[in-house]
Chain A
Amino acid sequence: MAERPPQIERILAGDHKAFEEFVKEHQRLVSHIVFRMVSNDEDRKDICQDVFLKVHQNLAGFRNESKLSTWVGRVAYNRCLNHLEKKKVPLFEDHCAEGSTIDSVIGEAVQPDEYTEHQDMAMRLRAEIQELPAQYRAIVSLYHLDEMTYKEIGEITKLPEGTVKSYLFRARKLLKERLAAKYQPEEL
C-alpha cells in the first residue's frame, strides 16, 4: 500500500494550518472547475468550500495511487455534477450534439445586440463558454487553465481519453463557430 504524503498525515493528525496550506495549493484547480461548471455566482464559493470540507472528511481514504490534484479535482467535479443534477441543468453533450448546426445554436443563444456591454473578446468568450454543456466547460477548463493531460482529465471525469479528446475538440469548434457567427473578424 502506498504511503501518504507527510502533509496529509499532518492534516489527519488535526493540524489546521497544514490544511490551510493544502487549500491554498489546490484552490486554483477547484475554483477553475467550480466556476466553469456552476453559473450561479452565489453558489460558487459555497461549493468550493464544500469541496474542501469533503476532501478533508475523506482524506484518510486517499492513497498515493493517483495524483493528489487529480483526486481533489474528482471531488470538485462530482460535487458540481451533484449540484447541477439537483438544479436540473443539462450535463451532457446531447445539449448540443454533433449534428446540431451553427444556426440552431445561434437561435438559442443571446442575440448580438445584447452584447453591447461586452467590451472585449474575453467577456464574449466567457459568455459563450457558459452556453456550453457543463461537461464541456469542465474539460475545457482542465485542459486550458490547469494544463492537465487527457489522461488526467479522464481520471477526474471518469471518461475515456478518446471521449475527452472528442469533447474538447467539439467544445472548441463550437466556441469558434459561435463567435465567428456573432461577430465580425475585426470585433474579435
Chain B
Amino acid sequence: MRYEHANEQQLQKYVDERHRLERPLVDHIEHCGLCQEAVAQYQMLFDGLADEHDIRLPADFAATVAAQLPATKPVETTAERWSMSTVLGVAGPLLMIAVTIYILGYQSLLTGFDGFSTGAVGLLTGLFTAAGEFLLRYGLRADLIGFAALLLVTIGLTDRLLRALRHGKAMLMA
C-alpha cells in the first residue's frame, strides 16, 4: 500500500470517477482515516451540488413562453424550401427555352441548341434561380415566379406560332 495521502484532485476523482484512479491509490484512500474524512466531505459536497430544489420555474412556464411568440408568417420549412427550389430550377430552363425560341425561332429546338444557347441556358438558369431566391426573401412566392416563367414561355411560343402561320399563309398566297 502507498503511504502518501491523496491530493485534492485525486480525492475529487475518487468520488466522481473512481475507476480512473490507480488501484494502489484507491486502496490507500479506502484504508486511510484522513483521506476517508476528506472523501466524506467531497461526497457531501457532490450530493449537495446535484440538488436542484432551489431551481424551479412556474408550472405554466412553457405555455407562457409559447403565448409570447410573435404571430408572424411562419419560417419556411425544409420541405417548402425544397419545393420552391424545384419550381425555380424548372422555371429557369423553361424561361431560357422560351427566350431561345423567341430570338432564334422554333427551328433551333429541332436542330438542337448550339454552343451559345447551351451556355446561355446554364447561365440564365443560375441567374434566374439566384434572382428567385433573392425575391423570396422579400416574401415573393415561388409559385408566382414559376407562373410568370410559364406565362413567358406560352407568350413566346404563341408569338412564334402566329408568325409561322402568317408566314405560311403569305407563302401560299404567293
A residues near B, CB below 8 A? 3-4, 9, 12-14, 16-17, 19-21, 23-24, 27, 31-32, 35-36, 45, 48-49, 52-53, 56, 59-60, 121-122, 125-126, 129, 140, 144-145, 169, 172-173, 175-176, 179-180, 185, 188
Q: Across the interface, do A17 and B64 meet the contact criterion of CB distance under 8 Å?
A: no
Q: Indicate whether A27 sits within 8 Å of B78 (C-beta atoms), given known contacts A121-B44, A173-B8, A173-B12.
A: no
- Interface size for chain B: under 10, 10 to 19, 20 to 34, or 35 or more residues? 35 or more
Q: Across the interface, do A188 and B65 meet the contact criterion of CB distance under 8 Å?
A: no
B98-145 interface (Cβ within 8 A of A): none
The residue on A at minimum CB distance from B76 is: A12
B residues near A, CB below 8 A? 8-9, 12, 37, 41-42, 44-46, 48-58, 61-69, 73-79
Q: Across the interface, do B74 and A53 meet the contact criterion of CB distance under 8 Å?
A: no
C-alpha spacing A52/B49, complex, angstroms: 25
The residue on A at minimum CB distance from B58 is: A45
Main SS at interface, chain B: helix
Question: How many A-B residue contacts, CB cutoff 8 Å?
Answer: 101
Q: How many Å from the CB of A169 to the closest CB on chain B?
A: 6
Most buried by B among A32, A145, A172: A172
Q: Across the interface, do A35 and B78 meet the contact criterion of CB distance under 8 Å?
A: no
Main SS at interface, chain A: helix
Q: Across the interface, do B69 and A16 meet the contact criterion of CB distance under 8 Å?
A: yes
Q: Which residue of A36, A45, A59 is within 8 Å of B57 (Cβ)? A: A45
Q: Which residue of B8, B37, B44, B68 is within 8 Å of A53 (Cβ)? A: B68
Q: Across the interface, do B62 and A27 meet the contact criterion of CB distance under 8 Å?
A: yes
Q: Across the interface, do B69 and A188 meet the contact criterion of CB distance under 8 Å?
A: no
The residue on B at minimum CB distance from A21 is: B62
Q: How many Å from the CB of A165 to the closest CB on chain B?
A: 10
